[in-house]
Amino acid sequence: MSYEGAIGMRVKDAVVVITGASSGIGRATALLFARKGAAVVLAARREEALQQVAAECEKHGARAIAVPTDVTNAAAVEALGRAAIRHFGRLDVWVNSAAVTGVAPFLEMPLEDFRRILDVNIMGYVHGARTALTYFRSQGTGVLINVSSVLGVVPQPYGHAYTMSKHAVRALSASLRQELHLSEARGIHVCTVLPATIDTPIYQHAANYTGRQVRAIPPVYSPERVAHAIVDLVRTPRREVVVGPGGRGLMLQSHLAPALTERLLARQVDRTHLSRKKPADATSGNLYEPTPGLGSVHGGWHGRRRTATRRLATAAALITAIAVLRRVRR
Amino acid sequence: MSSPRKVPPKASARRARSPRITTAAAVSAGWGLSEFTEVAESRVHAAALGPDGAPEVVCVHGLGCSHRYFLPLAQQLAAHLRVVAVDLPGFGQTPGPPAALDIRGLSLALADWLRATRRARVPLIANSAGCQVVVDLATHSPELLGPIVLVGATVDRRARSHPQQLWRLICDVPFENPALVPLLARDYLTCGPRRFLATFQHMLADRIEEKLRLIRVPAAVVRGKRDPIAPAAWGRELAARLPAGRYVEVAGAGHAVNFSSPVKLARITRALLEDRMPDEDGA
């Protein structure tokens, strides 16, 4: 299956299932699909948060249903697919984005927390892919989008389970693409999204046994940016898409100098991912119970403001450089 | 477990909760009763034959057909069972929307009707394209499925094109009871050529074989040994893909086994319902 110039489908009137739709990337993606005229099926554990997202989607004139689902329950994920078919008659796009994370020195991470992260982030995606592909194969068309991370390419210390799961998600997508290629299912696409650091509440929701607060590693990008990348993938499917130039730089760096990148990122995580000033109590975060409340797209890491500042700084640097060059030439 | 909580207001869903079911005595020749149910944005007609209170079976017709060609089978089963043959929207006596429904649309309508008439888990006997509709139920309403008899299931994946299917339909004529021809001619005219062709197009787009693994109820794949529309290799493949599937051939029969070999099909159906292994040849 050639992914160069692959033709996807129209976003308007497409039926889209999104897991992890109560917060962060999933929520931003649901809202963007709704704005583009798709019918959205929202899945996450928190019903009240989903109802809120559904109401916001309906404000954009979209049809939306909320289906409370724990993605680790295979039967619940099958029921999620059936709910989509029953209400909207079809299933065109499935976005796997429900994920949890946790940080701890390896030997201090409780084994059951480790297992739970792998269960949500890997088996949750497997359940989603099985349900989606059942319907896609019977229709002959469909786009499955798995949200991985740049940490699915470059590893991170302390977040072993998370980085392992994101590597696994990339592998799952690639393996499915190969299988679809062999069965000549040309209308079915599987894409992986690799976001850099995104301004979502995942850092506040993380399990944490480091004693230090978890923070977003700069540069931070907005979840809306990932949502745009996902909507674009439906129109023109591609194998893998990195969101955020910082992430692209990191990927390039890890290709050119893998050992150096490993060490540099380890240092960076130690210095900026985990706060050196603010302590934190040991917590299993949202691994077993969802964080109460109505959820949100943003995590308060100022992705948009930071992007604007970075752009301004880049522009200023460019202008200065040009001015300096001119003076030197004279 | 999850359940959909927020449902957009839908006329059919509202009506489905309090369906108005009316009956008329024997409006369709040979049948005992006609039943009309206000569901699926239509007034769904079903013909019934058999004793009141007896266990029911539901028959689902194929492309362009109606309840009428199930009469010979119904007469065979009516001693112990109540046979209810439904007309899908746009066919027989059930009005359909202006644009032909696709397989999913038909299966959603069938699901609405099964729920409205409280026929969840009633055994289903389907012929030809009706098999595609019944199998599609598994994608959205598996809780409605009881035992299934798939007779001459379409569309063979090795021949998913108009000319191939048309040729096979012509080849089937000599193996059917001649009385089927005038009966079908009338049904085809009722549904009209435009709906017939559009539905045919939807049938070709539907991949029944990819959905069979969702069917966890016992199912029998039945085909007439002379049926050119559903060949033996295709029938065996379908049975093999079903988690609880059996494969039965009826000697000398063509595509519409329910009309041309009703005695044998009745025997096979009873065997499946009594959870006996239906024998080769339905004997």
pLDDT digits (tens, 9 = 90+) for B164-174: 999 999 999 99
Does B2 reside within a domain? no
- At B45-66, the pLDDT tens digits run 999 999 999 999 999 999 999 9
Q: What is the pLDDT of residue B279?
A: 56
The range of the structural domain enclosing residue B120 comes to: 11-275
What digits encode the pLDDT tens for the residues A135-170? 999 999 999 999 999 999 999 999 999 999 999 999
List the single residue in B with minimal CA-CA distance to A42.
Answer: B4
pLDDT band at B200 (very low <50, low <70, confident <90, very high): very high
8 Å CB contact of A76 and B108: no
Q: Same domain for A207 and A271? A: yes
Residue B40 banded pLDDT, cuts 50, 70, 90: confident
**CA distance linking residue A65 with residue A296, whole number of Å:** 18
CB B136 within 8 A of CB B103: yes
Mean pLDDT throughout A80-103? 96
Within this chain, do residues A30 and A91 fall inside the same structural domain, yes or no?
Answer: yes
Looking at residue A304, its pLDDT comes to 77
Verify whether the Cβ–Cβ distance B6 to A79 is below 8 Å: no
Which token pair is B128? 């030809």
Based on the domain organization, do A326 and A248 belong to the same domain? Answer: no
> B106: which chain A residues are within 8 Å (Cβ-Cβ)?
none
Q: What is the pLDDT of residues A239-276, one digit of tens each?
A: 999 999 999 999 999 999 999 999 999 999 999 899 88
- Mean pLDDT, residues B246-261 taken together: 93
- pLDDT over 70 at B136, yes or no: yes
Return the active site residues of A. 162
Q: Cβ contacts (< 8 Å) between B7 and chain A: which residues? A: 65, 87
Beta-sheet pairing, B124-127 with B148-151: parallel
Q: Please give the residue range of the domain that contains residue A152.
A: 15-299
Contacts of A80 in chain B (CB under 8 A): 2
pLDDT at position A7: 77
Q: Are A45 and A138 in a shared domain?
A: yes
Using only C-alpha atoms, chain B has a radius of gyration, in whole angstroms, of 17
- Do residues A253 and A325 both lie within one domain? no
- Any idea what the CATH number is for the domain that residue B258 is in? 3.40.50.1820
Q: Is residue A1 part of a domain?
A: no
Residue A330 has what pLDDT? 72
Which whole number is the average pLDDT over B234-244? 95
> Are A30 and A175 within one domain?
yes
**Co-location of A104 and A122 in the same domain:** yes
**Number of residues in chain B:** 283
Residues A289 and A323 in one domain: no
In a domain, B6, yes or no: no
Q: What average pLDDT does the structure give for chain B?
A: 89
pLDDT of residue A311: 86
Q: How close, in Å, is residue A173 to chain B by CA atoms?
A: 20
Residue A6 lies in a domain: no
* Res B24: pLDDT: 75
Mean pLDDT, chain A, integer: 94
State residue A80's pLDDT score: 98
> What are the tens digits of pLDDT across the range A40-53?
999 999 999 999 99
Q: What is the pLDDT, as a whole number, of residue B130?
A: 96
In a domain, B4, yes or no: no
Mutation target for B interface from A86, A135, A137, A141: give the one with most B CBs within 10 A.
A86
In the predicted model, what is the mean pLDDT of residues B8-31?
Answer: 62
- How many domains does chain B contain in total? 1
Contact list in B for residue A82 (CB cut-off 8 A) is 139-142
- DSSP annotation string for A144-168: EEEE--GGGTS--SS-HHHHHHHHH
Could you tell me where the DSSP H helices lie in B161-282?
Answer: 162-172, 180-191, 193-205, 232-241, 257-260, 262-273
Q: Which of A125, A79, A50 is nearest to A290 (CA)?
A: A50
* Domain count of the fold of chain A: 2
**Shared-domain flag, residues A317 and A238:** no
> Does A235 lie in the same domain as A190?
yes
Do A164 and A309 fall within a single domain? Answer: no
Q: How far is A45 from chain B (nearest CA, A)?
A: 9
The reply to whether B176 falls in a domain is yes
Residue among A67, A83, A134 minimizing CB distance to B214: A134
For residues A31-60, b (16+ Cβ closer than 10 Å) or e, as one string? bbbbbbebbbbbbbbbbebbbbbbebbeeb
Residue A98: the pLDDT is 97
Average pLDDT for B106-120: 96
Segment A231-241 mean pLDDT: 96
Work out the percent of chain A whose per-residue pLDDT is above 70: 98
Domain-embedded: residue B283: no
Q: A126 vs A278, which has greater pLDDT?
A: A126
Distance from CA of B214 to the nearest CA of A (A): 9
Instruction: Output the pLDDT for position A167.
Output: 98
The size of the A-B interface in CB pairs under 8 A is: 73
In a domain, B198, yes or no: yes
Give a yes or no: residue A312 inside a domain.
yes
Residue A323 is which amino acid?
A
